Amino acid sequence: MFRNNEDIAKQHANDLRQEMERCRLAEQMRLSHSEPAPPADETVESKDVWKSLYETIAGMGRRIL
């Protein structure tokens, strides 16, 4: 089947619209199923825990060397 440039452009635009709709639906699903963000004080506390854990692991590595 012979397709001219206009047909190709229309098909491309249609494909982009479909992809945009899929992305929009995926984003809605992700947002509706995600847990709410933790309060700010919990976020700071978790960063402190990870920092402490990192320092512990780094200290163990230094002792091994």
pTM above 0.75, yes or no: no
The domain segmentation of the chain, as residue ranges, is: 1-34, 38-65
CA gap 1, 51 in Å, rounded: 63
Per-residue pLDDT at 18: 93
Per-residue pLDDT at 55: 81
**Secondary structure of residue 38 in the 3-state scheme:** coil
User: What pLDDT, in 10s, does the model give residues 13-60?
Assistant: 999 999 999 998 888 888 887 766 656 555 556 667 777 777 888 887
User: What pLDDT, in 10s, does the model give residues 1-10?
Assistant: 567 888 889 9
Per-residue pLDDT at 19: 92
Per-residue pLDDT at 40: 59
As given in the structure block, the two tokens for residue 56 are 């512990």
